[in-house]
Amino acid sequence: MSEQNAPVAISFQQVFTSFSIKKERSTVLKNITATVPKGDIVALIGPSGSGKSTLLSLCNLLHTADSGEVLVEGVNVLNWNVTELRRKVGLVFQSPTMFPGTVRENLALARRLQGSTLNDPESLLINVGLSPDLLDHDASDLSGGQKQRIALARVLSTEPHALLLDEVTSALDPSAARNVEEWILQIHAKERTTMLWVTHHLEQAQRVSQWTWLMVDGHLIEATETKRFFSSPQSEHGQLFLQGELSGYLT
């Protein structure tokens, strides 16, 4: 990809990944080589089924590549202590999973798994734009947008160096989506957390990211500066995708 000399947070080197579905092996990632610069936001776009979520899941080792290497902070993910890696590289899912109990208990979850306690749940909530009054509410009573922000805050409680965001706003109504997006950007402004952000919302990609990666059918077609991608995509696929003529959803 581009000519940056900035330090690299996550890097993929000739990565292939496949799944077996009904005894048939299908390759979902085909020779991915790219780097996520430290402190930047990369938007990952492409038609559904192009392998975006799989690429994310390689970074925190929820899946393993068949071949090639995935490096986080210069170290192959296979050589990381798995739980340590997952705390350093937080993942926020499309639909937030709340566990039975209060907001406070949900926020403290990641720390409890580590065997420690969460000292300042109030500031975590404020950090994602929620009132500390919510702490003792039942987590299942919250709205979708609130749950997603709790899920985000829960991941942030482990003080991750990088965040993987898997269509985190696509299950939300437009105003909640915008709200979650803004709070993520605020966190980025404050912490300079590296982010790999899967979205099918092209305007969102344009708003939030410095870099845009276009994936089609397991291939990384284009990886370039967001401004450049949206003004003059270099690949034919990129042009088609922006025109909404590539299979998959577009705004």
Partner 1 sequence: MSLLTLSFTLAFVAIAIILSTWLKIGVERDIIIATVRSTIQLLIVGYILKIVFGLNNPLFIVLMIILMIAVATQNASKRGNGIVGVTWRILIAITIAEVIAQSLLVGLHIIPAKAQYLIPISGMIIGNAMIVSGLLLNRLQSEAASHRQEIITLLALGGTPKQSMMPFVKQAIRASLIPTIDSTKTMGLVQLPGMMTGQIIAGADPIIAVRFQLVVLFSFMASAMIASITLGFLTYPSLFNQYQQLILPVSSK
Residue written as token pair 């590296």: 194
Nearer to partner 1, 61 or 134 (CB): 61
The one-letter amino acid code at 219 reads H
Residue with smaller CB distance to partner 1, 6 or 78 = 78
The residue within the footprint of partner 1, chosen from 2, 67, 75, 113 (CB under 8 A), is: 113
104 forms beta bridges with none
Segment contacting partner 1 (CB under 8 A): 93-101, 194-202, 211-219, 242-250? 93-101
Among 14, 82, 126, 244, binds partner 1 (CB under 8 A): 82
Binding to partner 1 by residue 154, rule CB under 8 A? yes
End-to-end CA distance of the chain: 26
Is 34:1 a contact under the CB 8 Å cutoff?
Answer: yes
Residue 54 belongs to what H/E stretch? helix 52-59
10 Å CB burial of residue 116 (0-12, 13-18, 19+) is exposed
When binding is defined by CB under 8 A, the residue of 1, 62, 118, 240 that contacts partner 1 is 62
65 touches partner 1 (CB under 8 A): no
Write out the two tokens for 110.
């990641």
Query: Contact between 75 and partner 1 (CB under 8 A)?
Result: no
Regarding 249 and contact with partner 1 (CB under 8 A), the answer is no
**Binding-site size, partner 1 (CB under 8 A):** 24
According to the binding rule CB under 8 A, does residue 140 interact with partner 1? no
- Contact with partner 1 (CB under 8 A): which of 83, 131, 232, 251? 83
Q: Which two tokens stand for residue 97?
A: 């999973």
Closer of 155 and 196 to partner 1 (Cβ): 155
Q: Is 93 in the site for partner 1 (CB under 8 A)?
A: yes
* Alpha helices (H) along 76-134: 82-88, 103-113, 121-127
- Distance, in Å, from the CA atom of 99 to the CA atom of 103, rounded to the nearest integer, reads 9
Q: Is 97 in the site for partner 1 (CB under 8 A)?
A: yes
Q: What are phi and psi of 122, to 5 degrees?
A: -60, -45
* Contact residues: partner 1, CB under 8 A: 60-64, 78, 82-84, 86-87, 90-91, 93, 95, 97, 99, 109-110, 113-114, 154-155, 158
